[in-house]
Chain A
Amino acid sequence: MRLISRTGAIAIAGAASLALVMTGCAASGAGSGNEKITLTVTTFGTMGLDDLYAQYEKANPNITIKATNIDTGGNALTDWKTKQAAGNGLPDVQAVEEGWLGQVMGVSDSFTDLSSYGANDIKDRWVDWKLGQATDPNGRIIGYGTDIGPEGLCYNSALFAAAGLPSDRDGVATLFGGKNATWDDFFSVGEQYHAATGKAFYDQSGFVWNAMVNQQKEGYYTKGGKLNVDGNSDLQSLWGKLANGAAAGLSSNQNQWDWGGGKAFTDGSFAVFVCPGWMLGVVKGQVEAAGGDATTGWDFADVFPGGAANWGGSFLTVPTTSKHPKEAAALAAWLTDAQQEVAAFQAAGTFPSVIAAQSDPGVTGESDLTKFFNNAPVGQILASRAENVVAQFKGPDDSVIQEQVFGPSIKELDSGTNGDTAWNDAIALLNQLVVNK
């Protein structure tokens, strides 16, 4: 008797809790027209958008934004891939990084064609190569550009002065060859520096190689999507220069993205650092993490070896799983409008991909970032660095080649293996991981 009533009670409780869960699920998906709408947004790293959501909610009272920011781009990529593979759990607005494009384009039909929601009216907003990157092979526009990553050279003026090299921005730009700066110039300055101080010149070979590959018209893939590594004499000759630099002791062999918790930025381990716009915030953060400040001497020069280069930059996309594609597209469009991109630049140093924003006083003027980099006009330098950037086709295995094929070989270079051996090791890995997979 008693048993029966107890099981009955349990059954009722179970059913009730199940019902609760189910209504909980249903609630988030409800709403249309002028009803309350909740939009979910997933971003990563420091994109500088956080303060803008409240502003949008205020202007659109029926919209509530639920934002998630994932700490690094790598983790965000894993998060996106997992949800994409599961076909479930993707947000209404998903931030996508340039490096993911190879994989994103493979499944581009799972992203909403923003042309259906007014993309064609605003597409002149962006620099044309950014728009080109966000257009899939069938001509659908699947993303709105947030920032781009034009690369300049960060250098430590105190260390340059101590080595008897020019230390003012213009002097340094000229030292590296000004508008016609080449990688040969870069390495010969490095050898001068090394001869004067006995110290390493750059932090590790990985980012330098990254810049070298990114500034080619065609990188690991041709425009037509064919693998372009084995027998690519341009890449191989750049690899030789990188190997010679490492052999001459120019690389400090730091762990990338670690740098001893930032200490390597303050203890004179290296004197130059390749800096896309968004990296400026990273440098500042690393120096501050190690207890340093503006007096540590980092500055930003308007020069880059081998010509214009772009590294990274992101897009806002609307996955087709979104229940409110219209509202999500409107939010993405607003977040990438000139005014908002200026605000993001001021918050995080992400250089705008919107043309009107690039020349905005908010970008070209002073900020915390300019103060940190010895009052360098960071926004103006980045605008100048963004000229002549070419968008490179990213193939499906681009990130695997960058990280898993060349990653070990770059570590080999930095630990003293000769360039040819390291290149051959990379080709062997390429065949194993990409060609014969």
Chain B
Amino acid sequence: MSTDTPRLIVVPRAGRGLTYRQRLNRADVRYSPYLYVAPFFILFGLVGLFPLGYTFVVSLNNWDLLQGPGEWIGLKNFSDELVDPLFWNSLFNTFSIFLLSSVPQLIAALVIAAILDQNLRGKTFWRMSVLLPYVVTPVAVSLIFSNLFGEQYGLVNNMLQGIGLDPVLWKTDLLPSHLAIATMVNWRWTGYNALILLAAMQAVPRDIHESASLDGAGPLRRFFSITLPSIRPTFIFVIITATIGGLQIFTEPKLFNASSSIPGGPFRQYQTTVLYLWDMAFNRGDFGKAAAIAWILFLIIVGIGVINFFLSRRIASAETHVASARTRRRLAARRIAVKAPVAPNPEPLP
């Protein structure tokens, strides 16, 4: 068949006989979107997926930082770490600091967001001031707080002694050190979370609030019955990101007592898991074990992420269950109410 038959005009889909330019144009439309999203996937593969896989390979070896790979020992690094008291110590510290920081932080963020949600004068000023601590680098924050919480020369202990209290050993005792580190984390992240929650609160329709207040609901009642349920998805997002961040905390405990001979305090009182990992890799030089720790931590975070996901899904589905049940009840009641005048009451009132 020769190319100059009129059929071509009728069936352009065949693609044959299109000019080079037309074909190029079509390929462009069809394939170039993949090209545009490719950089992310290529980068993710290079700096995300590949290191993850390589770390796993490293974790299966007896791998010295300087001497390089030794013998293949399978999962021994994992089994060693899972019975190492120092590993469990680091995990305890991580969760302790995480809980001490996240819980008060999210509550404070919620309160601050609720206040910022009111009709304040100089809104932008207040919002920016709340975000300000987030702009400061964590290293600077750690240096300042480490100084404040100094045991012999710190401002906090000076003030405590000024009002006749005993100084607290912020860098030696377990709970005070965790509190001090949690304070750093809170100082930096509360405002950031508050702004995210504020954005969600602003999206709550004002007319719901209005009608609720017409029905006589006070500000507290409105906050708990309207604002909180409406921002639940955002709140769950904030909780998940806070969890991931909290389990990977490194800079604050590292620099809290930077001159300590062991990173994370002389007795490892605030050595978090990431800090333990770093110490294992770069001070103790055992790359294989460090890689195993990284993988265990990765699995823990994935596990917590999955739990979070199912919890939030259950909350959401429970919500729709409740809502649909409520609607069904109301509809039924309505039907009865509509029927009522037609069908007389079977039992006369006494």
Contacts and interface: CB of A to CB of B under 8 A. Distances in A.
Contacts of B153: 260-261, 263-264
A411 B267 contact: yes
- Size class of B's contact patch? 20 to 34
Contacts of B86: 432
Interface stretch (A293-301, A338-346, A400-408): A400-408
Given A78-B282, A81-B282, A407 B261 contact: yes
Given A1-B21, A1-B25, A255 B151 contact: yes
A84 interface: yes
B285 interface: yes
Interface string A263-297: 11000010000000000000000000000000000
B172 interface: yes
A75 to B, nearest CB: 10
A404 B66 contact: no
A437 interface: yes
B171 A255 contact: yes
Interface residues of A, number: 35
A260 B152 contact: yes
B139 to A, nearest CB: 13
A256 interface: yes
Interface in B279-331: 282-287
A437 B284 contact: yes
A407 B271 CA distance: 15
Interface string A102-117: 0100110000000000
Nearest to B147: A261
A415 interface: yes
Nearest to B39: A14
B65 interface: yes
B261 A3 contact: no
B150 to A, nearest CB: 6
Contacts of A254: 152
Taking chain A's interface residues, is the majority helix, strand, or loop, or is none over half, making it mixed?
Answer: helix
Given A7-B35, A256-B259, A81 B267 contact: no
A206 B283 CA distance: 19
B90 interface: no
A21 interface: no
Given A255-B259, A407-B261, A407-B266, A7 B284 contact: no
A415 to B, nearest CB: 7
Contacts of A404: 261-262, 283-284
A321 B29 CA distance: 49
Contact of A3 (B28, B257, B284): B28
A82 interface: yes
A1 to B, nearest CB: 7
Given A3-B32, A404-B283, A408-B267, A81 B261 contact: no
Contacts of B35: 7
A435 interface: no
B89 to A, nearest CB: 12
A4 interface: yes
Given A1-B21, A7-B35, A411-B266, A81 B285 contact: yes
Contacts of B28: 3-4, 7
A256 B261 CA distance: 9
Given A81-B66, A103-B66, A255-B260, A437 B286 contact: yes
Contacts of B8: none
B150 A407 contact: no
B256 to A, nearest CB: 11
B66 A255 contact: no
Interface in A391-437: 399-400, 402-404, 407-408, 411, 415, 432-433, 437
Contacts of B29: 3
B262 to A, nearest CB: 5
Contacts of A1: 21, 25
Contacts of B25: 1, 3-4
Given A7-B35, A81-B65, A400-B283, A415 B172 contact: yes
Given A4-B28, A78-B282, A408 B67 contact: no
B156 to A, nearest CB: 13
B274 to A, nearest CB: 15
Interface in A1-23: 1, 3-4, 7
B217 interface: no
Contacts of B262: 403-404, 407-408
B150 A260 contact: yes
Nearest to A290: B153
A403 B261 CA distance: 5
B269 to A, nearest CB: 10
Interface string B140-175: 000000010011110000000000000000011000
Interface string A241-270: 000000000000011111011011000010
Contacts of A107: 66-67
Indicate the member of B259, B268, B287 with the most A CB atoms within 10 Å.
B259
A85 interface: yes
Contacts of B257: 255
A257 B66 contact: no
Contact of B66 (A106, A403, A432): A106
B152 A264 contact: yes
Contact of A258 (B66, B67, B259, B266): B259
Nearest to B29: A3
B24 interface: yes
Among all A-B residue pairs, the 3 with the closest Cβ atoms: A407-B261, A260-B153, A257-B259
Given A206-B261, A257-B259, A432-B86, 16 more contacts: A1-B25, A3-B28, A4-B25, A4-B28, A107-B67, A255-B259, A256-B261, A258-B258, A260-B152, A260-B153, A400-B284, A403-B283, A404-B284, A408-B267, A415-B172, A437-B286
5 contacts: A82-B282, A257-B259, A263-B153, A400-B283, A432-B86
Interface of B: 21, 24-25, 28-29, 32, 35, 65-68, 86, 147, 150-153, 171-172, 257-262, 266-268, 282-287
